[in-house]
Structure 1
Amino acid sequence: MDKQNSNFRWVIFTSVLFTYLIMSSQRTAPGLITDQLMNDFSVTAATVGLVTSIQFFVYTGLQIPMGILADRYGPNFLLILGATLTGIGTMIYSFSTHELVLFVARILTGIGDATIWVNMVLILSLWFNKKEFTRLIGFAGMTGSLGFLLATVPFSVLVALLGWRGAFLIAGILLCLLSIFLYYVLVKKSQQSLIAAPKIQREKTSVIMRRILSDRQAWALFFCHFGIVGGYIGFIGSWAVPYVMDVYGMTRIVASQLIMISLIGALIGAPLIGWISSCLETIKRPYIVFHITVLLCWSIFLLFKEHPPFYLLIILFFIIGFGFGSNSLTFAVVRQSFPITETGIVTGFANTGGFLSAVLLPSIFGYLLDYFQSTSGSISGGYYYGFLTPVIFSIFGLIGVIFMEEKRQNAGRRSNATGVPL
């Protein structure tokens, strides 16, 4: 089958993205039932917070190993396995009778979730040419934001109708069914191998890792993803609602609506930025523009002493979400910069940068808030210094994208050396 000219590639695209939609919704869905977990299991907020966040730690830690496995054995098996593990973990979560079981279930879900992005990028790079890939990777990024959106009001309605156990059970069953469907689409219908057999003499993983860790382009991609992802996911997913409530005196409902505005920005930004980049036939220039834009937005919080006018706050939340949509361009650069035999590892390495910042920012931000509350008795001043964190992260991102090379002259030579064309 000629993959990149086959109409079947759109079936692949739809199937993989729908699986990503459901899997990404389960990253944040447990945050909806924090109070119910505390009551049902008689545990503290800190315990529930650890159970909720463990998935992100597992996800981040497995990105590079997942890239190595994807390059070695192909993306089909790993994506199918990941959907299955996420489904099983979600079902175990729904049946939990002890907080330890919740913890194990989220670890299992995190392992499954760690497979999705790296292998989805590889599958799309195999089925679509470079120009289509640059445009469609934006839609893939939008799907992740849609997953976060699905885990708000729609999943809340499901929880209200079925209870939290019933809602998570349904999600787990759906994911297991999707894994069966993916096997049919990716393997049976497309007549592809479940596990890709190596067609060439491959280098040792340690040799490839040493080369990547000493590669300026790989580190540039790591840092540009670090800068654009952490501020959005780290802040919006943890401190945005408390910030609006504490500084502006808003209710939780109004504060949550601001999160929706940011999500809408991300939904619009991801496909639009990919389309703009594809039309301009350049990735670096629009990526630099959006990195600068996001940096300026975070800096405005400092300029207004953590308290910009409310109308400006709405605009800032939207633009930060919109700028976050550009993060998919990182993987478009990976696609054009590295041979297919190393795409998985570099994708995992770059994605590690993004989620490392998403893990670090809430902790640093929270530490600064605790410090100011303990020394001055007021938490408000802590937000001002807390906003230094996304500003600094964004500066790292801007440095990364400036040093990023849009086309590598040695990429062709490296691919030829391994016998695999770009």
Structure 2
Amino acid sequence: MNSASPAEPQGGARAWLVWGVAVGGYFLAMLHRNGLGVAALEAQSRFDVGPALLSLLPMLQLLVYVILQVPAGLLADRLGPRYTLVMGMAAMAIGSCMFALAPGIEVAVVGRFLIGLGDALVFLNVIRLAALWFPRARYALVSGLTGVVGGTGQVASAAPLAWALGGIGWVAAFLATAGLTVLMALLMLVVVRDRPTGAAGHSTVADPISAWAALKEALRADGPRIGMAHHAAVMAPFTMMMVLWGYPFLVNGLGLSESVAALTLTGLAAGALPLAPLAGVLVGRRPGVRAYFALVFGATLSLGWLLLVLWPDGAPVPLGVAVLALSALGQTMAPTISFDFARDGIPAGRTGVASGLVNMSGFTTAVVCTVAAGAILQALPEDPTSYQVAFVPMAVTTVLSTCVLAVFIRRRVRT
């Protein structure tokens, strides 16, 4: 039965409009998050810093994002999506202005901190609006589409910003990005509402509980725990590659030319995007397929990463590209499956904490493995096989997360 019960939101054109404006903010958040990549060389010259110190900027931003996931979920459950999204947009706009006008690295660091803070408030509230505006059967589809928009922002962030930096300069480019963010915040104030008119319980929370009680509620429920394990297993690998190590691995580890490596990484990221909505439709109609899909894909990805790090004398190009392709698909599909699991057993008005825990699990894994890979590469002599050793932490965490996922799913089936 696909029809929504009377207590459920009905969706419709108004729901898609609210979500569309909110997910536009997520697109901008991805632009802010990934924009430093194409500006790295100019930033190094502008702030007169070396590559080691410069690399701390994206890692600091991502670390802030990870640390604030649960607090952001609590804030979303207390304040509601509309005003929390506006706060996130404001923080990113201020951070972008500071980064544009920064006279030195110190102010630039503060600017990237504010961008990470604002970024942390966006995604959770977009999918929380999906929980409040759409029927349960549509949640996986809307979560998947949210991931597609974010992935599109990730893929598209490089070219427009590179053009702007070359055409109008550093200050104007980042101030223009800040201006777009302010306009999006104003549009959110006008269009976005926390709940449909006439929805049961006009407050932004369902039976408000303390922060500690909300955490216990999320951690005791099977759905969020399964979502956390799934997100760590399938979302983290390609995130690590896109944040830092994908391009160096393709060039120095597999021997591809720089142009081919860049095209390969972009093509893999873009090529996986259309599959998320299809999976969302399937999960919405047949929720039982989530467990089978999660286990099969987690096991396949684990096998791929084990082969990548254990292949004698360096992984061949077809294997390396295939593992990256599987990882790109995992990152794209993660919102569809992981956050749909997170909703199980949690009231729609308190999904912020559960979603924050799920998001935190994947990004924490990505950050830890990214830093570990850098430390290993720093310690080893430069060699194509060095990347195999450097990627052992990611292979291990993928396998362990998949095993935990299997335990949680089996326990849920037995109970």
Q: Common fold, TM-score beyond 0.5?
A: yes
**2:238 counterpart letter in structure 1:** Y
* Distance across 1 between alignment mates of 2:75 and 2:240: 28
Q: 1:300–1:164: structure 2 CA closer, same or farther, 3 Å change rule?
A: farther
Distance change >3 Å, CA 113–CA 370, structure 1 → 2: same
Letter in 2 for 1:59: Y
TM-aligned CA distance change 1:192 to 1:366, over 3 Å: farther
Distance of 1:248 and 1:22 partners within structure 2: 33
- Assess, with a 3 A threshold, how the Cα gap between structure 1 residues 182 and 356 changes in structure 2: closer, same or farther: same
Which secondary structure state, in structure 2, belongs to the residue aligned with residue 239 of structure 1? helix
**Are 1:269 and 1:323, in contact at CA under 8 Å, matched by a contact in 2?**
no
Match of 1:48 in 2: 54
TM-score (ref. length: structure 1): 0.88
Counterpart for residue 276 of structure 1: 282
Question: What is the distance in 2 between the residues matched to 1:200 and 1:365?
Answer: 42
Pairing 1:308–2:315 present: yes
Tell me: CA distance 1:215–1:125, structure 2 relative to 1, closer, same or farther (3 Å). Answer: closer
How far the C-alpha of 1:233 sits from its partner, in A, is 0.5
1:372 correspondence with 2:376: no
Contact 1:93/1:101 (8 A) holds in 2: yes
Partner of 1:146: 152
| Equivalent residue runs for 1:200-219 within 5 Å | 202-215=208-221, 217-219=223-225
Q: CA RMSD in A?
A: 2.7
**Matching of residues 188-267 of structure 1 within 5 Å:** 197=203, 202-215=208-221, 217-267=223-273
C-alpha change, 1:19 and 1:406, in structure 2 (3 Å) is farther
Find 2:125's aligned residue among 100, 119, 127.
119
Unaligned 5+ runs, structure 2: 1-7
* 1:153/1:305 CA distance change after superposition, 3 Å: farther
What's the CA shift for 1:368?
A: 1.6
Aligned 8 A contact 2:90 2:118 in 1: yes
CA distance in 2 between counterparts of 1:381 and 1:188 reads: 51
Q: Tell me, yes or no, if structure 1 residue 396 matches structure 2 residue 400.
A: yes
Deviations 1:178-215 (A, max 9, x none): 0000110014997699xx74676533222332444455
CA distance in 2, matches of 1:123, 1:31: 30
What are the Cα deviations for residues 81-106 of structure 1, in whole angstroms up to 9, with x where unaligned? 11121122112211111111111111
Do the aligned partners of residues 96 and 220 (structure 1) sit closer, same or farther apart at CA in structure 2, a change above 3 Å counting?
same
Measured against aligned partners, the alpha-carbon deviations of 1:292-347 in whole angstroms (never above 9, x if no partner) come to 22212212313433733324433332222112222111111112331224311111
Tell me the equivalent position of 1:419: none
Q: Which residue of 2 aligns with 1:286?
A: 293
User: What is the count of residue pairs matched by the alignment?
Assistant: 404
Q: Between 263-272 and 131-140, report the one with greater CA deviation.
A: 263-272
**Distance of 2:232 and 2:409 partners within structure 1:** 17
1:414 maps to which residue?
none
**Partner amino acid for 1:371?**
A
**SS at 2:315's partner residue?**
coil
1:173 to 179, 183, 189: 179
Report how far residue 388 of structure 1 moved: 1.7
Q: Cα gap change, 1:198/1:327 in structure 2, threshold over 3 Å: closer, same or farther?
A: closer
In structure 2, relative to structure 1, the CA distance for the partners of 1:207 and 1:165 (3 Å cut) is same
- Structure 2 CA distance, aligned partners of 1:312 and 1:198? 48
Q: How far apart are residue 22 of structure 1 and its match?
A: 1.3
SS of residue in 2 equivalent to 1:132: helix
Instruction: Check whether the contact 1:301–1:384 (CA below 8 A) recurs between aligned residues.
Output: yes
One of 335, 348, 364 as aligned partner of 1:356:
364
Question: For structure 1, which segment, 299-308 or 323-332, has the greater mean C-alpha deviation from structure 2 after superposition?
Answer: 299-308
CA distance in 1, matches of 2:352, 2:205: 16
Structure 1 unaligned spans of 5+:
410-422
- The 3 A distance-change label for structure 1 pair 166 and 210 is same
Q: 1:12 to 1:275 in 2, by over 3 A?
A: same
Counting aligned pairs with the same residue, the percent is: 22
Q: Judge conservation of contact 2:138–2:281 (CA < 8 Å) in 1.
A: no
- Aligned residue type for 1:176: V
- Find the counterpart in structure 2 of residue 382 from structure 1: 386
Query: Distance in 2 between the 1:300 and 1:274 partners?
Result: 30
Alignment partners' CA distance in 2, 1:252 and 1:216: 45
Q: 1:285 to 1:58 in 2, by over 3 A?
A: same
TM-score (norm 2): 0.89
Indicate the SS of the match to 1:267: coil
On the 8 A contact 1:92/1:105 being kept in 2, the answer is yes
**How far apart are the structure 2 equivalents of 1:278 and 1:191?**
24
Any residues of structure 2 matched to 1:312-327 within 5 Å, and which?
312-327=319-334
Question: Are the equivalent residues in 2 in contact too, given 1:93–1:106 (CA < 8 A)?
Answer: yes
**Counterparts of 1:33 and 1:109 in 2: how far apart (Å)?**
15
Instruction: Quote the residue 2:166 is aligned against.
Output: 160
| Structure 1 contact 284–406 (Cα < 8 Å) conserved | no
2:3 aligned partner: none
* Structure 1, 205-214 or 106-115: larger mean CA deviation: 205-214
Contact 1:225 1:350 in 2 (8 A): yes
The Cα shift of 1:271 comes to: 2.2
Cα deviation digits, residues 261-295 of structure 1 (max 9, x gap) = 22024313322332332343332111222212221
Greater CA deviation, 4-13 or 354-363?
4-13
Question: SS at the partner of 1:107?
Answer: helix
Q: Does 1:343 align with 2:354?
A: no
CA contact (8 A) 2:91 2:117 kept: yes
Alpha-carbon offset, residue 70 of structure 1: 1.2
Alpha-carbon distance change, 198 to 278 in structure 1, aligned in 2, over 3 angstroms: closer
Q: CA deviation at 1:385?
A: 1.7
Aligned to 2:22: 16
Paired with 1:222 and 1:161, the residues of 2 have a C-alpha distance of 43
